[in-house]
Structure 1
Amino acid sequence: MSIESQPAVPDAPLSEQKRRLLEKYLRGDVPPSPGAHDLIPRRPAGLAAPLSAGQHQIWLHSQMAPGLPLYNEPLTVHRIGPLDVAALEWSLCEILRRHEAWRTTVAVVGGEPVQVVQAVPRVALPVVDLRSLPEIEREPEALRLATEDARRPIDLVRGPLARFRLIRLRDEEHRLYITLHQMIFDGVSMYSVFLPELTALYEARVGGRPSPLREPSVQYGDFALWQVRRLREAASSSALDYWRRQLEGAPALLELAGDRPRPPVQSFRGDQPTFALPKTLSEQLKALSRREETTLFMTLLAAFNVLLYRYTGQEDILVGTVTTRRGRPELDRLLGFFLNTLVLRTRLSEELSFRELLRNVRETTLEALSRGDVPIEEVVKSLQPDRDSSRNPLFQVMFILEPPLPPPRPGWNLTQMDVDTGISRFDLYLEADDRPQGIIGRVRYSTDLFERATIDRLLQRFEVLLEGIVADPGQRVAALPVLTPLERSGALRPGDAAEPDRPVVSFTREAIEQSIVQRFARQVQKHPARIAVREAGREWTYAALDEAADRVAAAMAPTVGEEGARIALLLDHDAVMIAGILGVLKAGGAYVPLDPGHPAERLSHIVADCLASAVLTNERNRSLAQALAGGRMVHSLDEILSGPPGAGRRRIVSPDDTA
């Protein structure tokens, strides 16, 4: 039976067998479909393979930020016990020989990206021995080195797309840190193919035995070529029509309140805290899934939607997820990227019970899976959503349930949670992993939007919500508990952090009463040569930034006058903007920030309402500034900074001045 070919039947109960098969499908452990299709053919020797549909989407997105490790994925193999480094190197080399995907690069031929399979490289592991360090310093140093490598961008043209580093912590404890590009692996690749093959090859090599593994019948390039041809030949509008209907009128943005305004351009900066649910709660969630004839994925997704609903009040929510396209026997033991992104739409209301919501999520998931062959790239093209450089199109929040980890051989383990790349492609990404000790996971979040304390609190509330769901799944979603015990007791207000992020620092009254300009002047005096602000192609030391601010202050002083006028700043979010802010403050004025990305009518209202005396802008936004100014003077910051040096601050600012 092939689950992907089954139509969605919302009201039909799932048998235990079907529920288990669907659970495997959603987690990537897909049962093969014997006899359902002809086997994928090998491509002729020398024929370059195109990128698969999933790879093509990643490649396109990678072109937007080539200098960032946007799709770097770090993994850690933990080895407890004796280690033969030469045998490990041979085993890795053998895996690279067996799986072309891991020695593939990308070239553009005739305007289209294609896979280029490189020769089998010799693997010589860089080994870092940390045994000379004090015991307490070894683990942090290992993570520092691994993080340094994980944050180094991968060049898709030059390669390699897989990097390895071995660190020795103790005589019989090692970490094999791996950095992979997302284009060459998925969860099944790591948990069900790579680690089992690595340990089997290593133990055979150490024991003097030949490889016990059968050769792959196809390579990833064969799958990619077959998939592209199949999508072209089997192009059907019915599945795409479903996605158009399903996503029609959906909200473009999930209004998840952040700690900071959304920047006009997504920086992809992120952080990655981890979490672990108690084993008892994990078992209760699985038992609930069985009773409600759903899967653990559906239960956790429904709960996640409740959490988002309670945070935002939105009754129409889009969450991204992934599904595997491995449902063929020849792909079962192949390394590569076999995922497609799905957008799951959930409608909530105050009166809906969690049990009713879970049934709706089940229906939506089954319907989406039956149309899951449509590449997300085609869905986006068809819907043509408004493009916004500040966010991901269609959805900004993602939920993933990782495939199960087969029991590893003694002394070996694998995790994706040790190392953080400092990247988040979404506002919020929640990944769960069902392990024998309970459900564990990680959250990647945009640090442009959220503080770490906010996300820690969200995870605490998610656990409280899950406990409430297993206690009574018949409760209305609006009545399910989300506040932590401290918040319920009143000892902690909903907006407070559970603990201070840093030790409390005391300040003198003199320090507290200093203006921003005075504080900045102190830093200039103490650290003139240190970098104060950095952006692509520009660095300013404190001294250089101070000089730029003085130029602005000298130019704006006549406009500011003795009364401290307000100056509207229509500037991009860059280093020059900082000079403009400081310059206006040094001149004794107050600044009113305007975002060039906001509607002109709104900006014009702000300029008039704040009684701005002038507009300070750059050349790129000058025409917009003149339209907003309404007869007010418009100053060019570019001209000011390229002019003669300024004479510095014109007047001392007091606490009584206009703010």
Structure 2
Amino acid sequence: MKFIPELFRERVMRHPDKVAIKEESLEITYNELEQFSNRLVSLVKQEIDNPFTSMLVVMPSSIRCIAAMLAAFKAGTIYVPVSLSFTDSRMEAILSSNFDGLLITHEEDVKAVDQLLQKFGVSARMLITVTKENKLWVKRAGEQAATLAESVLPGHQGREVHIDGGEACYGFYTSGSTGAGNCVIGMHKSIAHFVEWEISHFDLGPESIIAQIAAITFDASLKDILVSLCAGALLCIPDPVTKTNAALLLEWIKSNRVNVIQCVPSIMRNLLNICRAYPAESYLSGVELVVLAGEMLYNIDVLNIKKEISAGAKIANMYGATESTVLKSCHLIDLSAETIDSTGIVHVGRPISDTFLAVISGSSLCKIGEIGEIYIKTPFLTKGYLNNPALMEERFVQNPLVSDERDIVYKTGDYGRYLAGRNLEVLGRLDSEVKLNGIRVDLSYIESEILKLEEVYECVVKLEGPELQPELVCYYSGVVVPGSVMVSKLQPVLAQEFVPRLFIHFREMPHNLNGKIDRKVLQQEYERHKAANDETEEALSETEVALAAIWKEILHISKVGRQQSFFEIGGSSISAIQLTARVYKQMNVLLQLNDIFLHSTIAGMADLVDKTTKTDYVKIPVSPRQQYHRLAPVQRNIWLMRQIEDEAISYNLHAAYAFEGEVRPDLLQEAMTLLVRRHEILHTAFSVVAGEPVQYVVPEDEPEMHVPVITTPDQASVEAILKSEAHYQFALDRLPLMRVVLIRKGAGEYILSLVASHLIADGWSMGIVMHDFITIYESLVLKCAVSLPPVELQYIDYSEWLNDFITTEAYEQKMAYWKKQLSGSNPFVTLREEFVRPAVKTYNGGEVLMVLPGELHAMLQQMSGKSNVSMYMLLLTCFFVLVHLESGEDDMVVGIPNAGRGRKELEPMVGFFLNTVPVRIRDIRRQSFRSLLLQVKNALLEADKHQQVPFDNIVTELNLKRDPAFNAAFQLLFVMLNMPQVNNLAVTSVKNIRKLETETVIARYDITVFVEEMAGGSLQFKFEYNTDLYSRDNVNLKMQKYLLLLRMLTEDEQMPIGQIAIERYLGLSSRKGEMTATEKF
């Protein structure tokens, strides 16, 4: 019998110059690999003669790793692949029981290996380090430094040893309940038997291109590597990032023309998910053979694979165990000949050569259809477990069918049955049958039924919970489906007691190093889910009760638990600001925004409130009325810009609302008049006195709002009217500075257009105006008192208070922060322009809309809660990364609007409170997503502490050089909208009130990103851009880059930003249309 070294050498002799292995930009021929591995053999045999010595190989899958594997087989040592990601318990077990002093690693990990040996107090007799140039450095016990092993015998003189087929050749660790795992020792004859069988059975040869997908520490990697090398095929190895990203892996499979894929079904399902989303790509059209093993395969999987692979391709479903030497049965499905039902489990066929698969019940072989336990009988088992006699006795047992002689078989722990033709159907683990309330429940059967649902891509059903109150839990990936809907879909096909009552969704099911579903992660997610439910215990102390009431009001929820995180149940940066204001006013405790993040539960916050010194709430005073009043700093800036710029429209604010019902124009007019009298700023005008702009209040009895009514059923006319209204030119020295027009489209169908000067309102104010107007109108229709609370303050009170604050020492301290923070900043960083920037800034705008995919939104929400950051912080972090990637700049400033309503009494007021805060981030390239997120979080919290300084005062104080083509300080704005909504206002006189997207887009910055939570909880992004700098397609591409960055953040928050090469994704993303984009001009 030929063993692996000889089988490989035969291929070297036949195809010496053929490429054997290809990885990223490297490749090696069969002859070069032979020479390289022989050099290692020579080096190892100079030092170690014991044929049972284990060789620990600490390297990822690579040419160097495979050369070390071949060297171990040739030298008669035991190849043991080790990953630095192993748990401490497993690593300790390896080093204490399976380490004979011989270790091979590559130069990238040599320091980590040294630290590992020191950590566990062991030393290496020989530590071999392989460089990127395949040079060998050796460090022996007692030596201080490694030496270059160039004195090694030439490769062709490598000293192989005589191999006995029964000797050990490899060791792989399987999972174990202790975390250390169990080392299974393979034999030369057994692995050679399997390799020769697979090559022959699947007719593999030099034309085969085989993907190395399995983890190098999983015995399935032997199936990829040794089969390929002994067949004379090309083995292709993806880089680690590609291997774990389904989209990248498919691109890699296609570009490398891979025609043989061997993996577990769950990995194939992940690939199929991408294929289904992008059918035009035909990623797997060149694949001729798919070998699946390690998990249950379902007929629906086969049908899905059949749609993607080439017409004459084949799928093999195989079965075995590490202990039985890789795989021991095969069902080869000829897709061109067989018809496949969409339901049920795919059987695993018949045993491979020299193997018998016995289904036994008691001491008898089962008949066809009878269920029993599966045993494997073959002379090509492994040697069993290293240093675990108890487990050996439990699994390697006397054949239950034989009593008169010693006949050791492997007891799999699986149960199954024979089908017609003695094909074997594996039904699952013996422990997949559980008892629930005294009823025997088959978990694998439940899983098979759930997988028939088109929304479910992959699932695991487990019995979870305490022994006295267990429950069936379904973990699944695919489309997010409410649990109640899942139950209703399953009730017709499953008995009541078999229907899970808890469904936990994963964007992708978690997998361990072996590629199988990681059930420990499932358990952790269940515990997290239950802990979150347990956290809903009600508030205890008086302080907790008061805080809970405030939380409910702000978050619009009816129940909150004392251990729930503010951010996990809907809190945002803006609502956190509102929270600090309410706590200050109602409890006389002044909390900083950072306190909300550090003490994000009711219990933690209550403890902080109780320990914090009470501070009397200092209200903004009512200012004595005079003929003229000072402008607030932001008003002053708008007024000055209006004098300089021709584009008055850029300082208008326009909103339009559609609604249904019958409108009485006389009451509409009266409602608007009452509204104007309610908010003083709505009957305020502007003038110049002694060279200074001032504001003055027109007496309440003077202003009467004239509301024209225009009737037109034509949509084009409606759009023209709205565009004209948005461009309305206000005279600032007289009323009105807000204009209202009612458009009657048809019977009971109206649109209300409101346009106001930014001098008297911001976006938040427009929501208040519409809310108050509808409420007043409703009261007039119903002939009842207006149900609006009195307005405590008017805008002039705020502007006078703010002007006084600017003269204080506290203001100077806050200004000092901004001077230091922005010193030396570059105000011109922006997203890469497509067109030449005009010499003078323009405001021509367009916009592209995107709704964030629901599953990605859910992942971001989960990440936000776990990381104790707001959703805004996550989204802004990715935006900074996008700007860095597009501009190449490592130090940048982005504008962040602050609502300016950190006091409760300011929330119902109309006026311009918005203050834009410049947030500066540096050293982006050298950080990971995670560290940048923390920097952004800290920058936002610090900015909030100093947000009372008006932005225009900062610009003036810094004496920033003005360029007419640019804005001052920054060119990009990132906005999370969280404003009063009127869509769900409970009124009877009109109905279906909804805000319209108006057609006129005014681009005040190069690009402004608006993020808004829509009705139903979805997250909408709007990229508003200057059309003189960017085209729609260009902005759409930027949006897609941003979406990819969000996905990358959820997949790997430790990813170094300097290593992100997002352009490699663009061929995939820009073709896929991950969002539907629309443009408005």
For the superposition of Structure 1 and Structure 2, which TM-score range results when normalised by the shorter chain? 0.5 to 0.7
5 Å matches for 1:46-65?
Answer: 46-65=626-645
User: Per the alignment, do residues 312 and 115 of structure 1 end up closer, same or farther by CA in structure 2, a change over 3 Å counting?
Assistant: same
Are positions 1:230 and 2:780 aligned together?
no
Q: Deviations over 1:356-378 (max 9, x none)?
A: 11111000001111111111122
Per-residue deviation, 1:200: 1.8
Of 14, 31, 48, the residue aligned with 2:581 is 31
CA distance in 1, matches of 2:567, 2:865: 11
Normalised to the residue count of structure 1, the TM-score between the two structures is 0.67
Bigger CA drift: 472-481 or 223-232?
Answer: 472-481
2:971 to 393, 396, 403: 396
| Secondary structure, aligned partner of 1:350 | coil
Task: Give the C-alpha shift of residue 392 in structure 1.
Answer: 0.8
| Closer/same/farther in 2, CA of residues 90 and 398 from structure 1, 3 Å limit | same
Which among 1015, 1031, 1055 is matched to residue 436 of structure 1?
A: 1015
Q: How many residues are treated as equivalent by the alignment?
A: 478
In structure 2, which of residues 668, 692, 710 is the aligned counterpart of residue 128 of structure 1?
Answer: 710
Query: Structure 2 CA distance, aligned partners of 1:44 and 1:468?
Result: 56
In the alignment, is residue 464 of structure 1 matched against residue 1031 of structure 2?
no
User: What are the superposed Cα offsets for residues 454-504 of structure 1, whole Å, 9 maximum, x if unpaired?
Assistant: 1122223322332332333333335558569772289699xxxx9999xxx
Counterpart contact for 1:187–1:402, Cα < 8 Å: no
| Aligned pairs for 1:96-495 within 5 A | 96-119=676-699, 120-131=702-713, 133=714, 138=715, 140-191=716-767, 193-234=768-809, 236-406=811-981, 408-409=984-985, 411-415=991-995, 417-421=997-1001, 423-437=1002-1016, 438-478=1018-1058, 482=1062, 487-488=1067-1068
How big is the alpha-carbon RMSD for the aligned residues of Structure 1 and Structure 2?
Answer: 3.1
| CA distances 1:230-289 after superposition (whole Å, capped 9, x unpaired) | 222345432222112211221231153222212222133322343332344333323322
CA separation of 1:312 and 1:216: change in aligned 2, threshold 3 A = same
SS at match of 2:774: helix
TM-fit CA distance, 1:394 = 1.0
Is contact 1:397-1:427 (8 Å) kept? Answer: yes
2:620 corresponds to 1:40 = yes
Q: What do the CA deviations read for 1:500-545 (whole angstroms, capped 9, x no partner)?
A: 99xxxxxxxxxxxxxxxxxxxxxxxxxxxxxxxxxxxxxxxxxxxx
Structure 2 residue corresponding to 1:16, chosen from 565, 576, 581? 565
Report the Cα distance in structure 1 between the residues aligned to 2:1077 and 2:797, rounded to whole angstroms: 53
Whether the 8 Å contact between 1:468 and 1:481 is mirrored in structure 2 is: no
For residues 345 and 212 of structure 1, the distance between their equivalents in structure 2, rounded to whole angstroms, comes to 44
Q: Kindly tell me: are residues 238 and 277 of structure 1, through their superposed partners in 2, closer, same or farther at Cα, counting changes over 3 Å?
A: same
**Match in the other structure for 2:92:** none
Give the match's secondary structure for 1:165: strand
> Letter of the aligned partner of 1:190 in structure 2?
M
1:162: Cα distance to partner?
A: 0.9
SS for the counterpart of 1:91 is helix
The verdict on how the C-alpha distance between 1:169 and 1:463 changes in structure 2, with shifts beyond 3 A counting, is farther
Deviation string 1:305-348 (CA, Å, 9 cap, x unpaired) is: 11111211211111011213323333231111112121001124
Q: Structure 1 residues 64, 42: closer, same or farther in 2, change over 3 A?
A: same
Deviations 1:389-443 (A, max 9, x none): 110121011111111444622524453732314x322111112112233122433
Shift of 1:226: 1.6
Aligned partners of 1:287, 1:122: CA distance in 2, in Å? 51
Aligned AA (1:157): D
Secondary structure of the residue aligned to 1:394 is coil
Bigger CA drift: 437-446 or 244-253? 437-446
Q: Could you say if the C-alpha distance between residues 175 and 348 of structure 1 is closer, same or farther in structure 2, counting changes exceeding 3 Å? A: farther
- The residue type equivalent to 2:1006 in the other structure is D
| Residue type at the aligned position of 1:239 | K
Q: Aligned partners of 1:273 and 1:159: how far apart in 2?
A: 35
- 1:184 is paired with a residue whose SS is coil
- When residues 229 and 416 of structure 1 are mapped into structure 2, their CA distance, relative to the original with a 3 A threshold, is farther
Secondary structure of the structure 1 residue equivalent to 2:884 = helix
Verify the 8 A CA contact 1:461 1:484 in the aligned structure 2: no
1:110/1:414 CA distance change after superposition, 3 Å: farther
Unaligned runs of 5+ in 1: 3-13, 502-659
Q: How much has 1:299 moved relative to structure 2?
A: 1.3
Deviations 1:555-584 (A, max 9, x none): xxxxxxxxxxxxxxxxxxxxxxxxxxxxxx
Supply the distance in 1 between the matched residues of 2:566 and 2:1066 (Cα, whole angstroms): 43
- Which amino acid in 2 is paired with 1:16? S
SS at match of 1:386: coil
Check conservation: 2:711, 2:744, Cα contact below 8 A: yes
Determine if the alignment matches structure 1 residue 72 to structure 2 residue 652: yes
198-207 or 34-43: which moved more?
Answer: 34-43
Does the 8 Å CA contact 1:354/1:476 hold for their aligned counterparts? yes
Q: What SS does the aligned partner of 1:232 have?
A: coil
Which amino acid is 2:872 matched to? F
The percent of aligned pairs where both chains have the same amino acid is 26
Rounded Cα–Cα distance in structure 2 between residues aligned with 1:499 and 1:404:
24
Contact 2:805 2:811 in 1 (8 A): no
* Matches for 1:494-573 after TM superposition, within 5 Å: none
Instruction: Show the counterpart of 2:366.
Output: none
User: How far does residue 379 in structure 1 lie from its aligned partner after superposition?
Assistant: 1.2
Distance 2:1071 2:705 in 1: 57
Whole-Å separation in 1 of the counterparts to 2:920 and 2:564? 25
Which residue type is aligned with residue 95 of structure 1? Answer: L
Shift of 1:22: 6.0
Q: Deviations over 1:607-643 (max 9, x none)?
A: xxxxxxxxxxxxxxxxxxxxxxxxxxxxxxxxxxxxx
SS of 2:649's partner is: coil
Please tell me whether Structure 1 or Structure 2 has the larger radius of gyration of its CA atoms: 2
Aligned counterparts of 2:693 and 2:675: Cα–Cα separation in 1:
25
- The higher-RCO structure (CA 8 Å, 6+ apart) is 1
Instruction: In structure 1, give the amino acid aligned to 2:899.
Output: T
Distance 1:399 1:319 in 2: 7
Partner of 1:552: none
Task: Assess if the C-alpha contact under 8 Å between 1:266 and 1:389 holds in 2.
Answer: yes
* Counterpart residue type for residue 31 of structure 1: A
Contact 1:28 1:324 in 2 (8 A): no
After TM superposition, give the deviation of residue 203 of structure 1 in Å.
1.6
Once residues 459 and 17 of structure 1 are traced to their aligned partners in structure 2, the CA distance between those partners, rounded to angstroms, is: 29
Any gaps of 5 or more consecutive residues in structure 2?
Answer: 1-546, 551-562, 589-615
* Residues 129, 169 of structure 1: 8 Å contact kept: yes
Task: Give the conservation status (yes or no) of the 8 Å contact 2:577–2:902.
Answer: no
> In structure 2, how many angstroms separate the alpha carbons of the residues matched to 1:243 and 1:85?
51
**Mean alpha-carbon deviation: is it higher for 279-288 or for 171-180?**
279-288
Describe the shift of the 1:283–1:336 C-alpha distance in structure 2 as closer, same or farther (beyond 3 A).
farther
